[in-house]
């Protein structure tokens, strides 16, 4: 189980012995698999974040068609919501940092409108 630190604007995920590694550049497969795995952890105890993984452009963001993120499942007016994404996606996939021992993702928080 990885060591996860959640700050106001970032989340750090440190690899522990026995944690899986992720590979694949084509269509951002490695990053996609990492985010899917991380979503499974963050949706369970003790975090209970209720996140979904989605391609960012499908939500109207002007980014590469393969960039994905984790976001709050139901965005409701007046309720806090968050998005977790790799801010360096165009430079390298987050799976590369993860395979080396530590991945740092950006968190964007706001109130639903």
Range of the domain at 40: 3-111
Alpha carbon 75 to chain centroid, angstroms: 17
In this structure, the strands spanning 10-14 and 3-6 are antiparallel
Q: What is the pLDDT along the chain (113 residues), one digit of tens a residue?
A: 899 999 999 999 999 999 999 999 898 999 999 999 999 999 999 999 999 999 998 888 888 899 999 999 988 888 889 999 999 998 999 999 999 999 999 999 988 77
Number of domains in the chain: 1
Predicted TM-score (pTM) of the model is 0.91
Rounded Cα distance between 55 and 66, Å, is 6
Query: What is the per-residue pLDDT for 85?
Result: 95
Rounded Cα distance between 83 and 108, Å, is 5
Query: What is the per-residue pLDDT for 78?
Result: 87
Rounded Cα distance between 40 and 79, Å, is 22
Rounded Cα distance between 111 and 55, Å, is 21
Query: What is the per-residue pLDDT for 90?
Result: 87
């Amino acid at each position: 189980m990885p060591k996860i630190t959640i700050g106001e604007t970032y989340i750090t995920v440190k690899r522990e012995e026995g944690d899986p590694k992720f590979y694949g550049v084509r269509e951002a497969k490695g990053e996609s698999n990492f985010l899917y795995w991380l979503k499974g952890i963050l949706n369970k105890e003790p975090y209970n974040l209720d996140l979904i993984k989605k391609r960012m452009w499908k939500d109207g963001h002007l980014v590469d068609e393969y960039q994905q993120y984790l976001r709050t499942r139901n965005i409701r007016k007046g309720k806090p919501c968050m998005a977790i994404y790799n801010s360096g996606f165009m430079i390298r996939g987050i799976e590369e940092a993860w395979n080396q021992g530590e991945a740092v993702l950006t968190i964007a928080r706001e109130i639903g409108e």
